[in-house]
Chains A and B, each alone.
Chain A
Amino acid sequence: MNAVEVNHISKRFLKEKSNVDALKDISFDVKRGELFGLIGPDGAGKTTLFRILTTLMLANSGNASVDGLDVVNDFKEIRKRVGYMPGKFSLYQDLSVQENLSFFATLFNTTIEQNYHLIKDIYIQIERFKDRKAGALSGGMKQKLALSCALIHKPSVLFLDEPTTGVDAVSRKEFWELLRQLQQQEITIVVSTPYMDEAGLCDRVALIQEGRILQIDTPKGIEQKFEQPLWQMASDNMYQLMIDLRGFDEVKSCYPFGQHHHVVFKAGTDVAAIERKLLERNHHQLEARLIAPNIEDCFMELMTTTAHESH
Chain B
Amino acid sequence: MKQFLFFIRKEFLHVWRDKRTLLILFGMPLIQILIFGFALTNEVKNSHIGILDNAKDDASRAVIQRLEASRYFEVVENISSNATLEPTFRQGKIKMAVVFPVGFQNELLHENKSTIQLIADATDPNVANTLVNYASSIVMDYQNDMRGRLDLPYAINTELRMLYNPQMKGSYSFVPGVMAMVLMLVCAMMTSISIVRERELGTMEVILVSPIVPMRVIVAKMVPYFLLSAVNIASILLLSVFVLDVPIQGSLVLLVSECLLFTVSVLALGLLISSAADSQQTAMLISLMGLFLPTIMLSGFMFPVENMPIPLQVISNIVPSKWFYYIVKNVMIKGLGFDFVWKETLILGAMTVFFLAVSVRNFKTRLE
A198 to B284, CA, bound (A): 43
Counting CB contacts under 8 A, is A294 at the interface? no
B102 CB to nearest A CB, Å: 78
Given A51, A82, A90, which contacts B203 in the complex, CB threshold below 8 Å?
A: A90
Contact: A86 with B13, CB < 8 Å? no
Query: For residue A159, which residue of chain B has the nearest CB?
Result: B209
Counting CB contacts under 8 A, is A109 at the interface? yes
Query: For residue B201, which residue of chain A has the nearest CB?
Result: A90
Given B14, B202, B368, which contacts A86 in the complex, CB threshold below 8 Å?
A: B202
Instruction: For A82, list chain B residues within 8 Å (CB).
Output: 209
Instruction: For A76, list chain B residues within 8 Å (CB).
Output: 211
A177 to B207, CA, bound (A): 27
Instruction: For B123, list chain A residues within 8 Å (CB).
Output: none
Instruction: For A95, list chain B residues within 8 Å (CB).
Output: 10, 13-14
Counting CB contacts under 8 A, is A55 at the interface? yes
- Given the interface pairs A84-B206, A106-B2, A107-B3, the reply to whether A94 lies near B13 with Cβ below 8 Å is yes
Contact: B3 with A109, CB < 8 Å? yes
Instruction: For B109, list chain A residues within 8 Å (CB).
Output: none
Counting CB contacts under 8 A, is A108 at the interface? yes
Given A85, A90, A107, which contacts B6 in the complex, CB threshold below 8 Å?
A: A107
Instruction: For B209, list chain A residues within 8 Å (CB).
Output: 54-56, 79, 82, 84
B364 CB to nearest A CB, Å: 10
Instruction: For A58, list chain B residues within 8 Å (CB).
Output: 366, 368
A76 CB to nearest B CB, Å: 8
Instruction: For B201, list chain A residues within 8 Å (CB).
Output: 88, 90, 92-93
A75 to B202, CA, bound (A): 19
Counting CB contacts under 8 A, is B17 at the interface? yes
Contact: A51 with B211, CB < 8 Å? no
Contact: B367 with A106, CB < 8 Å? no
Instruction: For A85, list chain B residues within 8 Å (CB).
Output: 206
Contact: B18 with A94, CB < 8 Å? yes
Among A57, A82, A92, the one with the most B-chain Cβ atoms within 10 Å of its Cβ is A92
Contact: A79 with B208, CB < 8 Å? yes
What 1/0 flags go to A78-119 for Cβ under 8 Å of B?
Answer: 011010111011111111000100111011110000000000
What 1/0 flags go to B5-20 for Cβ under 8 Å of A?
Answer: 0110010011001100
Counting CB contacts under 8 A, is B210 at the interface? yes
A150 to B202, CA, bound (A): 14
Instruction: For A89, list chain B residues within 8 Å (CB).
Output: 202
Instruction: For B366, list chain A residues within 8 Å (CB).
Output: 55-58
A109 to B1, CA, bound (A): 9
Contact: B10 with A92, CB < 8 Å? yes
B210 CB to nearest A CB, Å: 5
Main secondary structure of the interface of B (DSSP, over half): helix
A85 to B18, CA, bound (A): 26
A150 to B207, CA, bound (A): 11
Contact: B207 with A92, CB < 8 Å? no
Contact: A103 with B206, CB < 8 Å? no
Contact: A107 with B368, CB < 8 Å? no
- Given the interface pairs A106-B3, A106-B6, the reply to whether A84 lies near B207 with Cβ below 8 Å is no
For residues 95 through 145 of chain A, which have their beta carbon under 8 Å from a beta carbon of chain B?
95, 99, 102-104, 106-109
Contact: B207 with A56, CB < 8 Å? no
Query: For residue B208, which residue of chain A has the nearest CB?
Result: A56
Given B3, B13, B203, B207, which contacts A99 in the complex, CB threshold below 8 Å?
A: B13
Contact: B14 with A90, CB < 8 Å? no
Given A79, A86, A94, which contacts B210 in the complex, CB threshold below 8 Å?
A: A79
Query: For residue B217, which residue of chain A has the nearest CB?
Result: A107
A57 to B13, CA, bound (A): 30
For residues 276 through 319 of chain B, which have their beta carbon under 8 Å from a beta carbon of chain A?
none
Contact: B6 with A91, CB < 8 Å? no
Contact: A103 with B205, CB < 8 Å? no
Contact: B14 with A92, CB < 8 Å? yes
Query: For residue B5, which residue of chain A has the nearest CB?
Result: A106
28 A-B pairs in the complex with CB atoms less than 8 angstroms apart = A51-B367, A54-B209, A56-B208, A56-B209, A57-B366, A57-B367, A58-B366, A80-B211, A84-B205, A85-B206, A86-B202, A90-B202, A90-B205, A90-B206, A92-B10, A92-B203, A94-B13, A94-B17, A103-B6, A103-B10, A104-B210, A106-B3, A106-B7, A107-B207, A107-B211, A109-B2, A109-B3, A150-B206
**Residues in chain A within 8 A of chain B (CB atoms):** 51, 54-58, 75-76, 79-80, 82, 84-86, 88-95, 99, 102-104, 106-109, 149-150
Q: What 15 new A-B contacts, CB under 8 Å, besides A76-B211, A108-B211, A109-B2?
A: A55-B209, A86-B202, A86-B205, A86-B206, A90-B201, A90-B202, A90-B206, A91-B203, A92-B201, A99-B10, A106-B7, A107-B210, A107-B211, A109-B3, A149-B206
**Residues in chain B within 8 A of chain A (CB atoms):** 2-3, 6-7, 10, 13-14, 17-18, 201-203, 205-212, 365-368
